[in-house]
Amino acid sequence: MTTPALIAIDWGTTRFRAYLLDSAGAVLERVSSEDGIMAVKPGGFPAVLVIRCGMWLARHPDLPVIMAGMVGSRNGWVEAPYRVCPATASDIAEAMAEVDIGNGRKARIVPGLSTRDAAGAPDVMRGEETLALGTGIQNGTVILPGTHSKWVQIENGQIKSFATFMTGEFYATLLSQTILGKLREEPDDATGFTKGVEAAKRKGGLTHLAFAARTSVLLGDISGHEVAPFLSGLLIGAEVDAGLEMGPSGGDIVLIADGIIVDSYTQALAARGRTCHTIATESCFTAGLARLLMA
């Protein structure tokens, strides 16, 4: 029977996920709940940990416990200060914060990372650094799509820099809060996504190009069923263009994602002549924390 080596916890804003891992990072047992940090009352983090992982803590009193995600934010258990890029796995491991989880036992919280782009604009991430490390790539780009997508640049095994794009949030806002969503019809027609990806190549700026989701319907270029996919393709296409411009011209591209979003980014990258390798989110997280444990 495989011997447990780590209690790994992904504690985000809305979800709590925990894994009992062996020394290779393989999942032996898992727990999931809706006890995200926003659902935990002040001072309630130790109790939630015991409720969800008490059986592991009791069975394995000597196992290390490492937590990553928003649990280390200002609204979390304790703030784990951002580590400035560039950062290796060892740098991140050395910057982990400690918390008391009872009976004289300590747990460690992975810090987030901060960076500044070439113009000096600041950026931060918390949780994605663990996923990026879990890819195991030495040189290349890691894409983490979502509400706030991250493009992470890795050189010689260290996280050199990254950039955040509010793609998912902009998409939801444009459809629900602007005139662009008024002509949307359901069910969605996926052909609109391809048209949006191509539209992102045009000049004029994103706010100008986005209005085409309305005018293209009025002039008969797209149907109402294509409006939402068109906006998705436009925003993802614009993100891909900016992300590729910020990163190196070569190297691996790894996409950390699950579900339909994998096809969306794969298609947008292919339209720019690039390919990517996809890794499931859970696999990257558990591998990332296993790597930090070794570091």
DSSP codes of every residue in 20-37:
EEETT--EEEEEEES--G
**Domain check: are 154 and 267 in the same one?**
yes
Which residue, 126, 159, 184, sits at the end of a domain? 126
From residue 79, alpha-carbon distances to 74, 95, 114, 226 in Å are: 5, 12, 14, 44
pLDDT tens per residue, range 196-235: 999 999 999 999 999 999 999 999 999 999 999 999 999 9
DSSP 87: B
Helix and strand totals (H; E) in the chain: 10, 14
Torsion of Cα atoms, 196 then 198 then 202 then 204, to 10°? 10
Q: What is the mean pLDDT of residues 71-95?
A: 97
Which residue, 99, 126, 153, sits at the end of a domain? 126
pLDDT for position 1 = 62
pLDDT over 90 percentage in the chain: 95
For the chain, what is the domain count? 2
pLDDT over 70 percentage in the chain: 100
Supply the mean pLDDT for the chain. 96
Q: What is the mean pLDDT of residues 125-149?
A: 97
Which two tokens mark 279?
């890794």
Sign of CA dihedral 32, 35, 38, 40: negative
pLDDT for position 289 = 96
Peptide bond into 229 cis (omega under 30): no
Range of the domain at 204: 138-287
From residue 102, alpha-carbon distances to 45, 105, 129, 184 in Å are: 11, 6, 27, 54
- Unique residue bearing structure tokens 């096809």: 263
Which two tokens mark 52?
């969800």
pLDDT for position 24 = 85
Sign of CA dihedral 280, 12, 137, 255: positive
Quote the CA–CA distance of 29 and 40 in Å, as a whole number: 23
pLDDT for position 133 = 97
pTM beyond 0.85: the answer is yes
pLDDT for position 76 = 97
Quote the CA–CA distance of 157 and 172 in Å, as a whole number: 35
Peptide bond into 86 cis (omega under 30): yes
**Domain check: are 37 and 78 in the same one?**
yes
What CATH number is associated with residue 48? 3.30.420.300
**Domain check: are 79 and 116 in the same one?**
yes
List b or e across 150-183, with b for residues whose CB sees 16 or more CB atoms inside 10 angstroms. Answer: bbbbbeeebbbbbbebebbebbeebbeeeebbeb
**Res 118 pLDDT > 80:** yes
pLDDT tens per residue, range 16-61: 999 999 988 899 999 999 999 999 999 999 999 999 999 999 999 9
Which residue, 77, 105, 126, sits at the end of a domain? 126
Q: Are 35 and 97 a contacting pair, CB within 8 Å?
A: no
* CA proximity to 107, closest of 26, 28, 49: 49
pLDDT tens per residue, range 243-257: 999 887 778 899 999
